């Protein structure tokens, strides 16, 4: 095999999300099937990570764990779930943001401490993992993976304190960054959200009195749970046989910095974030785009699926009809198969197919959620022009991305962003569009329910205004690299 880069049929230039987490606590009974419930919760969160999946479960006496690579539907067989009995379960579906994509780094992660064993699933990224790993080494605790999640798990397992509130307070005082966690012990389920609230986490209730903690409310809908509320920034929820106890943020009030990209791209449109349905936030983004960047055109189309809502909003506000101009192959996923040159040359056609009858001779507004490296957008523009579109006007319901995310999103390095050091017109020339318009940061914050300053959201990928001090460039494989070098 030659040294050509591996080709993925999913050539999306979108940012890759981090992970999805689920925690389930059912009334204790001999026939409890929390692992089965967690499986369906993860299935609803598949969009948040496609590299590996895992579930840890407890029957009140023994904590059992199973992880595997691949999609949720492929990672588990029915017999795997049957080997995870119990009324408590935590689950995880992963895209690597710290550490490589490998079976070793799959979650949940087990950690043994003085108070017993825990299983932890993590969504986010901490920025002081190397410092915290050194603290663990001083305690005589070693790590075996290249993930910050394992560092968090051992810190929590060994944290001083008599109660989980005291232990999570120690954890929050120690680690810096983004973390939404679900944790299981043999008899307790715990949810933890970082003081900035960067990554989402919500709480739901079953009619039988059970509880669920999940990254998005859409997961609750799929398993018949009632959405209760979002977990507050800095809050810990502890669920045991006596019920649920909320432990408020133990730290001085930090700046609230919910990830605005959850609204733009990551979250499902049927999820509720910050008290708003994501679909409605996206339609407002599209409407704002139409106001900020109007154009004479015949039809509005979206880059499916994540830009659908924004395209509807653009069409409504502009009065230009919305049409289905691109059909997405929903079953394209990541693959390690090396195709021959014929399929490599097809490029973006593996993922999108245009409808010439809709596009031929038309002036087309194409609404997308974001442009990162700019590798896919030129191909889509060419695809639409070959289908007969007379003009292509690209509208992006996010500002230009100029800075990497260090809080749980794998985007690119600063030099790789197409918007880094380029004007909008220079980007337009590169992608081959007749016009290009980005949503302003002020309009974005207004659409998601914030104020024009963005005080409730992290928008560092656009502005460089990070809510937590970070190094200029951070390497997601740094922990793994020092591990293999023997420190």
- Annotated catalytic residues are 19
**In contact, 209 and 243? CB cutoff 8 Å:** no
- CA-to-CA dists, residue 363 to 43, 283, 293, 379, 422, angstroms: 39, 21, 15, 18, 26
| Separation between Cα atoms, residue 172 and residue 389, nearest integer Å | 54
Q: What is the dihedral of CA 262, 263, 264, 267, to 10 degrees?
A: 60
DSSP track, 154-199:
HHHHH---SSHHHHHHHHHHH--EEEEEEEE-SS-EEEEE-TT--S
Residues 6+ apart with CB under 8 A from 303: 326, 352, 366, 367, 368, 369, 380
What is the number of alpha carbons within 13 Å of residue 446 lying toward its C-beta?
Answer: 12
Q: Which of 121, 124, 125, 115 is nearest to 160 (CA)?
A: 115
d(CA 265, CA 278): 9
Across the strands, what pairs with 375? none
**Number of other CB atoms surrounding residue 205 within 10 Å:** 16
**Helix, strand, coil share (%) of the chain residues, nearest 5:** 30, 25, 45
Q: Is cis: bond before 305, omega within 30 of 0?
A: yes
- Of the candidates 416, 470, 481, the one whose C-alpha atom is nearest the C-alpha of residue 125 is 470
Contact status, residue 110 vs residue 56, Cβ threshold 8 Å: yes
> Token pair for residue 360?
């031929």
Which residue shows structure tokens 């026939």? 31
Query: What's the rounded Cα separation, in Å, for the pair 398 and 449?
Result: 15
What whole-number distance in Å separates Cα of residue 28 and Cα of residue 173? 33
201 to 188, 291, 440: CA distances (angstroms): 18, 33, 27
């Amino acid at each position: 095999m030659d040294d050509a880069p591996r080709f993925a049929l999913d050539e999306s230039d979108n940012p890759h999300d981090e992970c999805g987490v689920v925690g389930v606590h059912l009334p204790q009974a001999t026939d409890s099937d929390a692992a089965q419930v967690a499986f369906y919760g993860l299935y609803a969160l598949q969009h948040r990570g496609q590299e590996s999946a895992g579930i840890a479960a407890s029957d009140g006496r023994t904590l059992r764990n199973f992880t595997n690579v691949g999609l949720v539907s492929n990672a588990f067989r029915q017999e795997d779930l049957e080997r995870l009995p119990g009324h408590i379960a935590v689950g995880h579906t992963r895209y690597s943001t710290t550490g490589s994509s490998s079976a070793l780094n799959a979650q949940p992660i087990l950690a043994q401490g003085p108070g017993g064993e825990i299983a932890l699933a993590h969504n986010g990224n901490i920025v002081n993992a190397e410092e915290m790993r050194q603290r663990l080494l001083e305690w005589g605790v070693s790590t075996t993976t290249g993930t910050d999640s394992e560092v968090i798990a051992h810190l929590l397992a060994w944290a001083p304190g008599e109660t989980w509130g005291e232990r999570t307070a120690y954890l929050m005082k120690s680690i810096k960054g983004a973390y939404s966690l679900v944790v299981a012990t043999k008899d307790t389920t715990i949810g933890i959200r970082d003081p900035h609230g960067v990554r989402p986490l919500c709480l739901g209730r079953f009619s039988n009195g059970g509880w669920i903690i999940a990254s998005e409310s859409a997961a609750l809908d799929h398993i018949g749970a009632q959405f209760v509320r979002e977990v507050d920034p800095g809050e810990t929820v502890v669920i045991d046989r006596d019920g649920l106890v909320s432990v408020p943020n133990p730290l001085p009030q930090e700046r609230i910095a919910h990830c605005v990209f959850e609204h733009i791209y990551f979250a499902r449109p049927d999820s509720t974030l910050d008290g708003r349905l994501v679909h409605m936030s996206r339609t407002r983004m599209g409407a704002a785009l139409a106001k900020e960047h109007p154009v004479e055109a015949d039809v509005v189309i979206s880059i499916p699926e994540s830009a659908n809502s924004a395209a509807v909003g653009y069409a409504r506000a502009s009065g230009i009809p919305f049409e289905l101009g691109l059909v997405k192959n929903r079953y394209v996923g990541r693959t390690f198969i090396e195709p021959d040159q014929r399929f490599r040359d097809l490029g973006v056609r593996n993922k999108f197919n245009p409808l010439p009858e809709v596009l031929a001779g038309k002036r087309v507004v194409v609404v997308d959620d974001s442009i990162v490296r700019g590798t896919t957008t030129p191909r889509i523009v060419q695809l639409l022009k070959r289908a007969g579109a007379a003009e292509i006007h690209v509208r992006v319901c996010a500002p230009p991305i100029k800075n990497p995310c260090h809080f749980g999103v794998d985007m690119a390095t600063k030099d790789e962003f197409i918007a880094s050091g380029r004007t909008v017109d220079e980007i337009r020339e590169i992608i081959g569009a007749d016009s290009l318009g980005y949503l302003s940061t002020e309009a974005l914050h207004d659409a998601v329910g914030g104020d024009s300053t963005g005080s409730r959201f992290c928008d560092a990928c656009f502005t460089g205004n990070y809510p937590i001090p970070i190094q200029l460039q951070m390497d997601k494989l740094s922990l793994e690299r020092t591990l293999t070098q023997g420190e």
